[in-house]
Amino acid sequence: MFDRLTNLFDRIRDYDWWQVAVELVVIWIIVFVVVKLVEGTRAAAALKSVFFLVVVLSLVIRILGVQDALARLNFLYSSIVAVAAIALIVIFQPELRRGLTRLGETGFFGRRIAPATETVDAVSRAAAMLSKARFGAIMVIERNTPLKELIEGGTTLDAEVSAMLLQTVFFPGTALHDLAVVIRKDRIVAAGVQLPMADAADTPDPLLGARHRAAIGVSLETDAIVVVVSEETGVISLAERGDLTRNLNEAELQGLLLLKLNKGLVTAMQEEPDSVEMEPPPEGEAEHEEART
């Protein structure tokens, strides 16, 4: 064993430093990407354990030369690793799909999100009114990831977004009030849209109803922002990336939507000076103003 370790260190010293640096950088990038893809998912804990076992077994079998003495165990180890790789792909297929979707949402593949101030105002006002009336609602705002497959199962509207129309859609007794509305830019694309439900493990509170589970589910699958109004409590919530922000009022919801949909616009607004010096009016107009006062 000591001789094998000595030979290993001798081979490492023979490598050029830049080759080692490039390999380490590539390995670090791969590990970083994998960690980011599974971060916050059920796959994270399992992959940590699997990665630790694979590293330990590889060190024991490959580096220390156990494969020469225990050929049958080496064959069994290689077979298990291959089967485990396939099993991980099957078991964590939803997480892999979400990770690939997020890669497609990066700046290289994605498209620039246009300002949606009118949409924000309409959704915020509608959510506040629906909350006051205790009418349940779920409004999905599309961003980079297209929601074409979901929209195909709903009723096409293609109408200009407005608070009044959203209230009408979610009024109890209408044919579309139980399902979701999908909004793209300043248009209500479809209503009566069925959304994928989140698993119980992905839901922060097991007591949450179907609307909240659907909001979390579609936010896990896509980069959409989902606004939910609870029918039982009137609580307004916002779902993004599987996270649920609850107990929002109209102003808080409007601020969050502006930040998430119009980052460039909000930044420009924040950079404006707090106070603007006004030029004094002409003398004639000033006298006129004083006389009216």
Domain ranges within the chain, ordered by starting residue: 2-104, 117-270
Strand 236-240: give its sheet, edge to edge. 155-160, 187-193, 180-184, 137-141, 225-229, 236-240, 243-248
pTM given for the model: 0.60
How many whole angstroms separate alpha carbon 178 and alpha carbon 192?
Answer: 7
Written as one string, the DSSP assignment of 83-143 is HHHHHHHHHTHHHHHHHHHHHHTSTTTS-PPPP-HHHHHHHHHHHHHHHHHT--EEEEE--
Domain 117-270 coded CATH 1.10.3110.10: no
Q: Do 66 and 74 contact (CB within 8 A), yes or no?
A: yes
Q: Do 225 and 159 contact (CB within 8 A), yes or no?
A: no
Query: Given this model, what pLDDT does residue 252 score?
Result: 93
Cα-based angle 257, 261, 264 (whole degrees, multiple of 5): 120
Which tokens sit at 261?
Answer: 């949909």
Bridge partners, residue 227, by sequence: 139, 238
Query: Given this model, what pLDDT does residue 128 score?
Result: 95
Instruction: Give the three-state DSSP class for 171.
Output: coil
pLDDT tens-digit profile, the chain (293 residues): 566 667 666 666 777 778 778 888 888 887 777 766 666 555 555 666 666 777 676 666 665 554 455 566 667 767 777 777 777 667 666 666 656 655 555 544 444 444 468 899 999 999 999 999 999 999 999 988 888 888 888 999 999 999 999 999 999 988 888 899 999 988 999 999 999 888 877 787 878 888 999 999 998 888 899 999 999 999 999 999 888 999 999 999 999 998 888 764 544 444 444 433 434 444 544 444 444 43
Which tokens sit at 60?
Answer: 């024991």
Query: Given this model, what pLDDT does residue 287 score?
Result: 43
Q: Do 123 and 161 contact (CB within 8 A), yes or no?
A: yes
